[in-house]
Structure 1
Amino acid sequence: MNVTEYIASGILESYVMGVVTDQERREVECLSSIYPTIRQELDELSAALENYAFMHRVEPPASVKERLLQQIDFDKPNQKPLDGTATETPIRPMPIGVLAGGPTYRVTWIAAASVGLLLLFFSFYLFSQLRSNQKTLSSTRTSNESLQTQLRQLREKQTQNDRMLALLSQPGLRTMELRGNEKAPQGNIILFWNTQTHEVAVQPRSLPPLPADKQYQLWSMVGGKPVDAGVFDSGSENKLIQRLNRSVSRAEAFAVTVEKRGGSPTPTLSTLLAIAPVKS
């Protein structure tokens, strides 16, 4: 059962107002005993309507009390005479006006009850509107947060593109192409190396995606020994230029291996995918 849809159907509000059928009443009572969420929502609705009715209660007009006092004749309590005989309390007939003449206290109370019921229905309407507005506000807030996240991502990409443009426009830039071996025959990586600023960036045009715990790692060969040149990813955005967080001042060749996420101090030769010498 979808509890959220059941609560949103409005059956709980109708139950609190007492306008449900016997079958619906039994259904609400049964489900509220099974699902704590429905029980909590039912309690909150009952408390809200009770508080609203208490705050907007209607006092009967003061004229009702005066009319009642005029229609009721309060006799003085019987006093026992000196001779010991009891005096008989006179019996007076009820004024006909109480039964048939003009508005009575019962009519006034019926009118007051009708006004109270009207206010109760109106409060239920306002409460429903409040819940609807709260849901709309929550949805708007969620959409706003999503837009802010997208805007932040766009700004980050713009910043990255500006940095890459600055890197590519600086003098001393060398561009190399690393093609995959038999382990990655379709592999193709463009390497950007600035021999003056020692910055390195890669553009993996076609590399197979890796598991979440793996990354590609670039190595620079110096004196026949591999030196860590940084890690990079490949996936749905593998055509973006990625700037590595290592500087390379010297290099006789560049190679790419698959290592654990974060990089490894030494390359795993069994995962070597590409290697290319640096042309003088």
Structure 2
Amino acid sequence: MKGLIQQYPELAAAVTEFERALESAGTWSHTPAPSTVRDDFLHAIKNTSPLQQTTITSPKSANSRKFMRIAAALLLLLGISGICNILLFRKYEGVTREYYSLLGKTQELRAGKQQAENNINTIRQDMGIVSARAIKKIILSGVPGKEDHQVTIYWDTTSHKVYLFQEKLPDAPAGKQYQLWAITEGNPVDAGLLDNCHGLCKMKDIGKAQAFAITLEHTGGNITPSTDQLYVMGKVPI
């Protein structure tokens, strides 16, 4: 009975009315309740039907839910866009690093190729010089105490050009420089200073010479050779 009263408000109202009628009639005197009260109570039970629960959706609540769905979709798209941008940026960085790495390697290869071509051209020129018919090859060997030193002179007796190939000669100490001398009729003639050249080094032109020699002098050279600093010497072949 309590369950029915809680479920149906009309039934609860009828019960309350019935209780009030009983109180007004004086239940302790055992006076029978009016027939109208009983009829009303039975009528309420007979005509009472379960109430259908109705959910009322206000326009404001519907708009709010629609807005939330749109906002959620936009946030999802924004998140996906951010992730895509991060991935694309990382890929761009990787491609950029690869590009500059390949560019650097290409430049190195080009520089190496150019250097190799220059070296080949230099060797061809040197070969052309030393193989000329007018060239005389003079071997300058180390003097006593310096036997492991050696220099080769290529002297063009027609053009008077002199070329030096430094084979076995130690680097000059600081403040010092090697100087080539041509011995002409017993007199030394300055034939030039050795710079940091590689391969065939062009020296001063010499018209006549019976021998060549190299001494170690102060930087800038000397007008006469320091005989105590003689390193190599060789005679011109007849």
Extract unaligned runs of 5+ from structure 1. 1-91
Partners of 1:125 and 1:254 in 2: CA distance: 73
Which structure shows the higher strand fraction? 2
> Normalised by the size of structure 1, how large is the TM-score?
0.55
CA root-mean-square deviation: 3.0
> Normalised by the size of structure 2, how large is the TM-score?
0.64
Please name the residue that 2:202 is paired with: 244
Partners of 1:271 and 1:98 in 2: CA distance: 108
Higher RCO (CA 8 Å, separation ≥ 6 residues): 2
**Secondary structure class of the residue paired with 1:251:** coil
Number of aligned residue pairs: 181
Q: Of residues 225, 230, 234 in structure 2, which corresponds to 1:276?
A: 234
Identity of aligned residues (%): 19
Cα contact 2:177–2:221 (8 A) shared by 1: no
CA drift of 1:164 comes to 1.4
Q: Of residues 110, 130, 148 in structure 2, which corresponds to 1:186?
A: 148
For residues 102-143 of structure 1, give each alpha carbon's deviation from its aligned partner in whole angstroms, at most 9, with x where no partner exists. x61111111111111111111111111111222112212221
Please name the residue that 1:20 is paired with: none
Q: 1:159 to 1:268 in 2, by over 3 A?
A: farther
Q: 1:268 to 1:119 in 2, by over 3 A?
A: farther
Q: Letter of the aligned partner of 1:264 in structure 2? A: G
For residues 162-207 of structure 1, give each alpha carbon's deviation from its aligned partner in whole angstroms, at most 9, with x where no partner exists. 2112212322211111111245320122221110122222333322
Please name the residue that 2:84 is paired with: 122
Cα contact 1:220–1:229 (8 A) shared by 2: no
Cα contact 1:171–1:196 (8 A) shared by 2: no
For residues 20-49 of structure 1, give each alpha carbon's deviation from its aligned partner in whole angstroms, at most 9, with x where no partner exists. xxxxxxxxxxxxxxxxxxxxxxxxxxxxxx
Q: Of residues 170, 179, 189 in structure 2, which corresponds to 1:226?
A: 189
Extract unaligned runs of 5+ from structure 2. 1-55
CA drift of 1:232 comes to 5.0
**Secondary structure class of the residue paired with 1:246:** coil
Q: Of residues 85, 93, 98 in structure 1, which corresponds to 2:62?
A: 98
Q: Of residues 207, 213, 224 in structure 2, which corresponds to 1:255?
A: 213
Q: Does 1:144 align with 2:102?
A: no
Partners of 1:204 and 1:217 in 2: CA distance: 12
Cα contact 2:191–2:205 (8 A) shared by 1: no
Please name the residue that 1:264 is paired with: 221
Larger Rg: 2
Cα contact 1:219–1:230 (8 A) shared by 2: no
**Secondary structure class of the residue paired with 2:209:** coil
Partners of 1:246 and 1:183 in 2: CA distance: 28
